[in-house]
With several copies, the nearest count.
Chain A
Amino acid sequence: MIDLLYFAWVRERIGLDGETLPCPAGVATVADLLDWLSDRSPAHTAALADRSAIRVAVDQVFAGPGTPVTAGCEVAIFPPVTGG
């Protein structure tokens, strides 16, 4: 299984705080996961359409497109941060 968490407008556009899913076949990296998630529903497609506005953390650490995604990990998807 894989724990997905959504924040800010990614959360609003997908309409969920997060979801727990079986690790999808063929998904080895963050980029693979985003591609696979985009096809999951029209809401996912819309939320992830502009990949340049999407940031990802794997197990609470900022990740790049090539960061491995494995069973049991927590993947958070969100827009660029705006704190401070």
Chain B
Amino acid sequence: MIVTRVQAASFDAAAEITVLTAGRSNIGAVVSFTGLVRGDDALVSLTLEHYPAMTERALSAIAAEAEARWPLMGGIVIHRVGRLLPGDPIVLVAVASAHRAAAFAATEFLMDWLKTKAPFWKAEAREGGTTWVAARDSDEAAAARWRAAD
């Protein structure tokens, strides 16, 4: 069961990962991804807007797709919204499985789909003003990898 959460508050990636395996002895592999705000080019802050009515639906659908594709033994997806500062965590994906191949694949898949199928938008604030981050072709290409396996 992959739990999904959207929140303005920060999260403790380490604690969330620890919870996945606590008290269990049938998990062989845990893979985690943490995305953080990079302070490149004098970034002052990053603001994440989302479409609340759709976000939960989209995250649940993405999680369900991962569970259908790989034999997982638990997982968590946390995505933050609101105003973040350089160094702040934005997103956490962590997945537990018996074997490493499934855990790696599911984590990468969840990130690729979050990037392209969940309704979040980033605006970067710098001294000179605020600009919306443009979608990257490389993210579309990464997400398209998983279609070939359908």
Contact = CB atoms under 8 A, between A and B. Distances in A.
B135 A82 contact: yes
Contacts of A61: 54, 57
B120 A84 contact: yes
Interface residues of A, number: 17
Nearest to B61: A61
Interface residues of B, number: 28
A60 B55 CA distance: 8
Interface in B95-123: 111, 114-123
Interface of A: 5, 7-9, 57, 60-62, 74, 76, 78-84
22 contacts: A5-B51, A7-B121, A57-B54, A60-B57, A61-B54, A78-B119, A78-B121, A80-B134, A81-B118, A81-B121, A82-B115, A82-B121, A82-B135, A83-B50, A83-B79, A83-B91, A83-B115, A84-B79, A84-B114, A84-B115, A84-B118, A84-B120
